[in-house]
Amino acid sequence: MEIKIFDTLIHSGMNLRWPSKPNINLNILNILQLIENETLLKGALVQTSPWFDSCNSNDLFFRSIISHKSEKKIIPVATIPHLSINKIKSFIDDSIEIGFRVFKIHPRFSKHSLKELSFILDYLLPKANLVQICTYQNQEINSLGNFLVANNLLELFAYKSNFYSTHIMLMHAFDVSLLQAHSIVRHNKYLILDLSMTILKYNGSSIDNDISYLFKNFDRRICLGSDYPEWSYRELEKKLLTLAKSTTEDKLRNIFYDNVEKILDF
């Protein structure tokens, strides 16, 4: 089986410098060319990166993608920046008016509390086709009581996605808490686990066994992303070739692209 994926996570922007890869030009025009040239890709969700972009123009970003002629499906994603709740509402409304229908929330960077995340989801989920939420938990803890615990987040995301019947994609699948997340996702049909970063970051650890288990037993509720530029496509391809040896082709198709394409209603 030829490996093709719908990439759930490519970072880009207008004038973006990625902290760990400052020499890679991530301007959206370069990223669009990368997608065209990359044989592994069937399509992609491409996110704005307000934390590291000195020219964070949602309008220019969106128009660059929409005006790009391609046989591959390339979807722009508006990442919600660190703003007050009222300003976030305006950001969402402005982004919807531009044409965005997929959004990303990055709680580790935006510093929003569980209560604030609840307010944001109440405003966003009725308007969006899909919401991606970064669930990578590792960070420096400077005070007690400000850490977003996986169980609380999972409960919140499950409840809100069910209430609004809108899909939430759990980016990085709660990393080392992968199976804990799976135990909630499997009972809540509007949640989907995204294995970007986690599939490569913990290579050689027990997480490999967890991911292999999900490939064999949970193929309709997981998806894949590169987390580019954090990881290369050749690294991801090598990993997928290994996992593919013990997984049926129909399950691989679900994981590699069908699950995401169904959510996006292609």
CA 47 to each of CA 32, 34, 66, 190: distance values in angstroms, whole numbers, following the listed order? 12, 15, 14, 21
What residues in the chain have per-residue pLDDT under 50? 141, 144, 146
SS3 4: coil
Cis peptide before 107 (omega within 30 of 0): no
The reported pLDDT for the residue numbered 54 is 85
Where do the domains of the chain lie, and which CATH numbers do they carry? 5-263 (3.20.20.140)
**Strand duo 102-105 + 167-171: pairing:** unpaired
32: DSSP letter: H
Identify residue 71 by its one-letter amino acid code.
E
**SS3 category, 59:** helix
Note the pLDDT tens digit of each residue in 197-245.
Answer: 999 999 999 999 999 999 999 999 999 999 999 999 999 999 999 999 9
